Amino acid sequence: MRSRQRNAIRPSEITPESVFRTRRQLLAAAGFAGAGALLTAARIRADDVPASYRRLQGLTRSRLSVDETPNSFEDITSYNNFYEFGLDKEDPQRNSGGFHPKPWTVTVDGEAEVTGEFGFEDIIRPHPLEERVYRFRCVEAWSMIVPWTGFPLGDLLKRFKPTSKARYVAFETVYRPAEMPGQRWPTLDWPYGEGLTIAEAMHPLTLMVTGVYGVELPNQNGAPLRLIVPWKYGFKSIKSIARISFTEQQPHTTWSDAAPHEYGFYANVNPRVDHPRWSQAAERRIGTSLFTPKQPTLLFNGYADQVASLYRGLDLTREF
């Protein structure tokens, strides 16, 4: 069964390179390439990363990177919200040592021609890995700059040939209470679920992530496979993905189910729409000094030029 499905995706189904290149040129021309992007990538210091992490080979540096200095590997791996491993920011690093990200399979189902269970290697093999430095904004009003490694989610989704009925993509985190101590408590309705519209999922900025700082993703950051949707609050970027479903209806998502008045389906970063309990106008950049003021939050986390068109005609104060 498994081996048949393994062959279900053929190399011919990968985005042709010419299309891939053209798209990149278009994006660059659109003005968000940033001449400094390469310099930023060069500033990422590999010696920050403990030698125990496996380095990822053959990375290309993405022109979609922002020109800001990344946070340290230490900050990125020690300050995490990942309730599957506990509620405190330090818990994921502390409690994720017993999690085994390999071997890994992802179930793909719903409105697509190609469905089934796919091994991690089958998922990532056809895709060239890129390093992309992105802004990351948590709904709790803090932010980081992170050098992710991954490939566009859209390139993967196309391989499954979504049908015309597929209007949304739903994602689910793995459910392993034996390895994820936080799942032994009904803090949230496990397994964690998230979702995107098909247009959001296909957007070139939406990244399927396998690494950070040029090494394999640490457990606390969502090993082995997570999403990054850089213009949305962090909770949309689901970790440790075990299921991808193409759906006709807007999927249930964990945080908007838990507190719909506080966390909406879209969760676009928006300084003008406050969380009911705090302002979203400013954010604290992790890794700055005690005396550094909060900085203003940017609409769509600074990616408005690229993504605002996705929400034309939508009232962002209601669809928050």
Partner 1 sequence: MSSTLTQRRIRLVGKPLAFALALLPLSALLAGAAGVRQFSLGANPVEHIQDTTGIWALRFLLLTLAMTPLRLATGQPWPLQFRRMLGLFAFSYAALHFANYLLLDRTLNFAEIIPDITKRPYITIGFTALVLLVPLAVTSTAGWRRRLGAHWLRLHRLVYLIAALACWHFWWQVKKDITEPLVYAALLAALLGVRAWRERAHQRL
What residues line the site for partner 1 (CB under 8 A)?
Answer: 74-75, 78-79, 83, 87, 89-90, 140, 142, 185, 187-188, 258-259, 277-279, 281-282, 284, 286-287, 290-291, 293-294
Smallest distance, partner 1 to C-beta of residue 72, A: 9
**Strand pairing partners for 135?**
145
Tell me which amino acid residue 141 is: A
Query: Cβ 275 to partner 1, closest distance in Å?
Result: 10
Please state the closest distance from residue 259 (CB atom) to partner 1, in A.
8
- By beta-carbon proximity to partner 1, the closer residue of 52 and 289 is 289
Least gap, CB of 262 to partner 1 (angstroms)? 8
**188 in Cβ contact with 254 (< 8 Å):** yes
Nearer to partner 1, 90 or 305 (CB): 90
**Smaller CB distance to partner 1: residue 250 or 278?**
278
Closest CA to 253 of 171, 319, 157, 310: 171
Closest CB to partner 1 among residues 159, 239: 239
- Asked whether the bond before 128 is cis by omega within 30 degrees of 0, the reply is no
Residue 136, both tokens: 């990351």
Name the residue with tokens 């998922």.
123
CB of 281 to partner 1, least distance (A): 7
What count of other Cβ atoms lies within 10 Å of the Cβ of residue 39? 11
Q: Which CB atom, from 255 or from 311, has the smaller least distance to partner 1? A: 255
**Cis before residue 224, ω within 30 degrees of 0?**
yes
